[in-house]
Amino acid sequence: MRVNFTETVLRDANQSLIATRMSFAEFEGILEIMDRAGYYSLECWGGATFDSCLRYLSEDPWERLRKIKAKVKNTKLQMLLRGQNILGYRHYPDEIVRKFVAHSAKNGIDIFRIFDALNDFRNIEVAVDETLKQGAHAQGCICYTTSPIHNLEKYAAMGTQLEKMGVQSICIKDMAGIMGPQEAYDLIRALKSNVKVPVFLHTHSTTGLAPMTYLKAVHAGCDGIDTAISCFSGGTSQPATESMQYSLKQMGYETGLHEKVLKEINDYFKPIKSKYVESGQMDAFVMGTETDALVYQIPGGMLSNLIAQLKAQNAIDKLDEVLAETPVVRKDLGYPPLVTPMSQMVGVQAVANVLTGERYKNISKEIKAYLKGEYGFAPGQVDEELIQKVLGDEKPMTTRFAETLEPIFEETKKQLAGLAYNDEDVLSYIAFPPVAEKYFREREESKTKVVDYIIQKKPEGTV
Tens-level pLDDT at each residue, the chain (463 residues) = 999 999 999 999 999 999 899 999 999 999 999 999 999 999 999 999 999 999 999 999 999 999 999 999 999 999 999 999 999 888 999 999 999 999 999 999 999 999 999 999 999 999 999 999 999 999 999 999 999 999 999 999 999 999 999 999 999 999 989 999 999 999 999 999 999 999 999 999 999 999 999 999 999 999 999 999 999 999 999 999 999 999 999 999 999 999 999 999 999 999 999 999 999 888 877 888 888 888 777 776 677 778 878 988 899 999 999 999 999 999 999 999 988 888 889 999 999 999 999 999 999 999 999 999 999 999 999 999 999 999 998 888 989 999 999 999 999 999 999 999 999 999 999 999 999 999 999 999 987 766 655 666 655 555 4
Longest CA span, the chain: 80
Question: Torsions phi, psi of 98, nearest 5?
Answer: -65, -45
Q: Which tens digit of pLDDT belongs to each residue from 348-359?
A: 999 999 999 999
The whole-number pLDDT of residue 463 equals 43
The whole-number pLDDT of residue 458 equals 59
Question: What length does the chain have?
Answer: 463
Q: Which tens digit of pLDDT belongs to each residue from 401-427?
A: 999 999 999 999 999 999 999 999 999
- SS3 of residue 209 by DSSP: coil
- Determine whether 191 is exposed, middle or buried from the number of CB atoms within 10 Å of its CB (0-12, 13-18, 19+): buried
Quick one: CA torsion of 357, 360, 363, 366, rounded to 10 degrees?
120
Q: Which tens digit of pLDDT belongs to each residue from 255-281?
A: 999 999 999 999 999 999 999 999 988
The whole-number pLDDT of residue 299 equals 72
Whose CA is closest to 117, among 345, 360, 348, 400? 345
The whole-number pLDDT of residue 160 equals 98
Whose CA is closest to 327, among 350, 296, 349, 352? 296
- Determine whether 316 is exposed, middle or buried from the number of CB atoms within 10 Å of its CB (0-12, 13-18, 19+): middle
This prediction's pTM: 0.92
The whole-number pLDDT of residue 292 equals 80
Beta-carbon contacts of 16 under 8 Å, excluding residues fewer than 6 positions away, are: 204, 235, 236, 237, 238, 286, 299, 300, 301, 303, 304
Contact criterion met (CB below 8 Å) for 341 and 390: no
Question: Torsions phi, psi of 303, nearest 5?
Answer: -65, -45
